Amino acid sequence: MNLKGRSLLTLKDFTPAEIEYLIDLAADLKRKKKQGITGNSLKGKNIALIFEKPSTRTRCAFTVGCVDEGGHPEYLGKNDIQLGHKESIEDTARVLGRIFDGIEFRGFKQDTVEKLAKYSGVPVWNGLTDLYHPTQILADFLTLKEQFGKLSGLHLIFVGDGRNNMANSLMIGSGKLGINFTILAPKSLWPEGELVKTCKEYADAAGSTITITDNIEAVKGADAIYTDVWCSMGEEDLAAERIALLRPYQVNQALMEKTGKKETIFLHCLPAVKGNEVTEDVFEKHSEVVFDEAENRMHTIKAVMVATLGN
C-alpha cells in the first residue's frame, strides 16, 4: 500500500484498509525492534517536531521512532519559533517545508496543523490538537489487537468527557474498523452531532454500532473501558466544575464489574489523574496493558513516518 507523501491530520482521511495497514506495519516494526533490528528508511530525512503543548509520549515516540529509522528529529518548542506570532502559520510552513522532510505538530487548533499541511509541501502529522489525536488511536488499536487478536466486533467504551479529542478520535477509528463503540458521558459533554452522524455512517459500512449515552449500565459486555483526564490542557480553570460533573463516571472496581466480563481491560492515553477519572487500584491492576499502550505510541508513530516518508 502506498501512503507516500500523505499527511495524518485525522483518521477521517484514511480508509479502513489504510488504518489497518499502519497498525500491521507498527506490529512488524515492534517485532523487529524487540529483536534489535532497526531500519534506515528515514536516512537523510530531517523532521521538525513542533510543540505548542508539552508532551512525554508524543515527543519521545517521534524522537526515538525517527532515530531508529536513521532520521534526524529537531524539537521546536513554542518559544523556539514564531509560529502564528511574528510570522504567519502559512509562512512558517513554507519555510519549514524547504528545510525539513516532514513536520509533526502538537498544539491547540486543528486549523494550524491543516495550514502546515497545506502550505509546507511535506507530510505533516497531527501529534494532538483540541479536536483530534490520531496517532494515539493507532497505538490504542495496536494494543487492542495484541490483547484480543482482532478489532472488528470488539466492544469499546469511552467513559468521561465525551467531546474531547480522544472521544472524537476513538469514535472515528472505531467506526471505520468495525468496533462497537460507546461514549458514556453526561449529556452536557456529548460529542458534536455532525461528527456522530459521520461516524455512524462509517460504522454502518463496517457493520458495527456507535452509541452515545449517560447510562452507566451501558458498560455491560465491554471488552475494554477507556478513559482520559477530566480536564484537558488549557481547561484547568474548569477543574472543580468538571470533577463534580464527572464523579459518577469514574472508572472504579464497581464500574469494571458492571461489564460482567473478567477479561475486560482498562485503557488510558496518559497522563492519568488517579483518584479522578480512574481509581489507583483499577489503574494498577491493568497497568501492564496501559504501559503497553504507551510504548505502542512509538511503534505506531514510527509506522506513520515510515509509510508516509520512508524510502
Residues with active-site annotation: 106, 133, 136, 228, 269, 297
For 266, the enclosing helix (H) or strand (E) is strand 265-268
35 is known to lie in a ligand binding site: no
CB 218 within 8 A of CB 211: yes
Question: Dihedral (C-alpha) 284, 288, 289, 291: value to the nearest 10 degrees?
Answer: 100
Q: Is 228 annotated as a binding residue?
A: yes
Residue 55 is assigned to a ligand binding site? yes
Which three three-digit cell numbers place residue 254? 464497581
Q: Label residues 249-269 b or e (16+ Cβ within 10 Å = b).
A: bbbeeebbebbeeeebbbbbb
165 labelled as ligand-binding? yes
- To the question of whether residue 73 is assigned a binding role by annotation, the answer is no
Is 136 labeled as ligand-binding?
Answer: yes
56 is in an annotated binding site: yes
94 is in an annotated binding site: no
**Has 297 been labeled as part of a binding site?**
yes
Strand partners, 224: 156, 265
Q: How far is CA 173 from CA 33, 79, 135, 169, 170, in A?
A: 26, 33, 11, 6, 5
Residue 143, annotated as binding a ligand: no
Q: Which of 156, 162, 108 is nearest to 131 (CA)?
A: 108
250 in a known ligand binding site: no
Q: What does residue 183 show for φ and ψ, rounded to 5 degrees? A: -100, 120
Q: Which residues are annotated as a binding site for carbamoyl phosphate?
A: 55-58, 82, 106, 133-136, 269-270, 297
Q: Binding site: what residues are annotated?
A: 55-58, 82, 106, 133-136, 165, 228, 232-233, 269-270, 297
Annotated binding residues for L-ornithine, as ranges?
165, 228, 232-233
